[in-house]
Amino acid sequence: MPFEQAVFLRIDTSDAQPYLDGASCGELVISTLVNGRDKGWFDLLGFVVLPREIQLMIIPRRMAVNTLVRNLELDLYPQLSVLKPISKTILDTDFYREKVDCDEEMKQRLRWMHLAPVRARLTMLPQSYPFSSANARYSEIIRPFQKA
């Protein structure tokens, strides 16, 4: 089976505002990610939603990463703007992306990504953070990447 090109994305919020803070906002972002996956935009390998950023590990499918991030913004903005006062946009258009070349690198990136809420002092254990694919409640929506 040939390796598919995974991409790690770190998408900050506009002006570093905590637009994604709180349970309703976190759940809304995750719902938007699942909808994007269901639309065939990407395979979702992992995610972390923090108050000021989204970290993703995906395999893009039907569009370039720039278009994918723009579409996530378009899907997220109408609902999130009801919950939070947002001036223009939610997501910064200048986001970080990095191609991930092998399974071992992907595992390391996922471990690092899942530790982001611990480093931010939002939780003591990665698996207890409610807005991360490290949490067991998301095991059904994440595409496994490990080879059998």
In this predicted structure, which of 44-48, 49-53, 117-121, 139-143 has the lowest mean pLDDT? Answer: 139-143
Over 70: is that where the pLDDT of 3 sits?
Answer: no
One-character DSSP codes across 123-142: -SSGGG-TTBTTSGGGTTTS
Return phi, psi of residue 9, to 5°.
-125, 135
pLDDT in tens, 83-107: 888 878 999 989 999 999 888 999 9
| 129 in Cβ contact with 122 (< 8 Å) | yes
pLDDT at 147: 37
Over 90: is that where the pLDDT of 1 sits?
Answer: no
| 13 in Cβ contact with 53 (< 8 Å) | yes
Look up residue 19 and give its two tokens. Answer: 């637009």
**Domains of the chain, earliest start first:** 6-138 (3.30.70.1290)
Percent of the chain with pLDDT over 90: 78
